[in-house]
Structure 1
Amino acid sequence: MRVLFMVDNVRDMLRNLIEKAQRYVSDAKINDALHILEINRDKFANVDFDLRFDYLIVLGYIFIVRGELLKAEKVVEEAIRISRKRADRDGRAKCYYLMSLVFHRRGEFEKSNRRLKVAIRLLVDSRNIRLKMSILQVLVMNSYLLNRRLDSELLKELKKNTGVFERYIEALSKYNSGYYEEALQDIQYCKKEWKKRDKIYLAETYFLSAQILYKSGKLKKALIDARKAVEIAINIKDKIGLARAQLLLGTISRDLGKMDEAKEAFHKAERLFSKMDNWQAEYVAKMGRETLER
């Protein structure tokens, strides 16, 4: 009994270390997160599959953010091998999502998309909205950087069994196909629902709404939603979302002749993405350069 108690204590301690590292990652304290995991590397070497898997997932993401892509790839490959021994399709999907980030950061967007396809098919019966939203963000970025439309078939698979998120995907699909009014109807529904639930998705919804309104020529309404996207991103401390929202706000303000607001928004966006140590930075930087050059 004493031995079992000691084992449980060690396991709890290591679980707490992983959770602490995750909190550091959320607070953008990447070096602190890595330090915790690195100094305890030996302790994570001989643990059960579940604990080892969670350790590798966090470590892999840290290496991706730091741009240490060879290390990230090695870590994620081990996580994939472990995932095949676990009855956890969401976990395996997370591995392929991380591998897609490795290729995204290398600029190999086609390879990134192929990993995302695997992840989406693993998640076909899943209600893991957070992971699906993360996958969607990478799909959008890859499509933007490849200068092509989103894959409608992938979007159909991604939206299954997701409730409100399904309507968000519907809105994105309709927007992608040029059906702006229909997309806005879905967006209105998402706004109402996500006000009650998750502000992260609410920020994304206002951002998409502003994009659709802008594309459909409703600039004053687009400006309102872009400002709202900025406000929510500030409140939830989402720097990447804030940078994107500021860029959009600047674009809309410029086209409305509000040059002071446009310059301020562009300046804030440029300052944000110039300091980013984030796998999305390339996407935001490219968007920023193109917007500022118009």
Structure 2
Amino acid sequence: MAHNLRSKDKGTKDGEEEETLDPVRATQIRIMLEAAEDERRIRREAAKREEQRAEREEQRADEDRRLRREADIQLKINNRNSQQEDRVNMGNRFGPMLGRCPTDPREISAYFQRIEGIFESYRISDEAKAELLLSRLEPKMKTILNELRTEDYTNYEAIKQQIIRSCRFCPKKLRDAFFSTYKAKEETYPAFVAQLYRHLKFYFQSRKIETLEQAMSLWVVDRLKEIIPKNLVEYILAQEGDEWLPHDKVANLLETYEANMNMRGSTNSISSFRTQSGHAHLGSDSK
């Protein structure tokens, strides 16, 4: 029995020995666990650093965008101030040279001739022309621009044409101004020729001439009106209304008009002949 007990005790000790880890193996496991924990810690720290880096990058990007916006706003303000300063300087420089736009329709044509000569001499841009012209208008004159579109307020030609229309300029008067202008004794030929050019330019603009073909057609019609009878001129003017008609259309209208007049004259002659013949027969019967 004692032998059995010793055997049992020995078996228990052997089992305990089997459950006890080898120190070397235990050390290896501990090292592996610590390494795994270190790797997880390193990954967490790397992820946190990456998150912080991305956050810093986003902050820098936001700051860059803010600085760019502020720079753009400042640039626009500087440009606007510079443009306003340029306009003020230009107004101060050219305002006295241009003078106030007259309210008398008889003086408008000469005014535009003079200021356009200044614009041409100093090579003023179209937008600057519009601003300068607007600055030289009297309050009463500005009211005639109410019919213009907003974008036309920077269009010199649109402003000028609106002023001309408001003054009820007759294209014929503009044409007459071209032919009735003579060189003054003290006037230079370049100045005189420039004046002639502007007169003709105003006339063509009033007739909305844009091509050489249109100009030639208009010139032929104008010459035709000078040499045909007054009644025919009046007929053509009645057909034209506010717009001029091309030379070929005018020719066809005149041809048709004269044909109708001739036919009416022939009809009247026949009627007159028949009336006279009737009276003659009545006279014979009475005898």
TM over 0.5: no
Q: TM-score with structure 2 length normalisation?
A: 0.24
TM-score, normalised to structure 1's length?
A: 0.24
Larger-gyration structure (1/2): 2
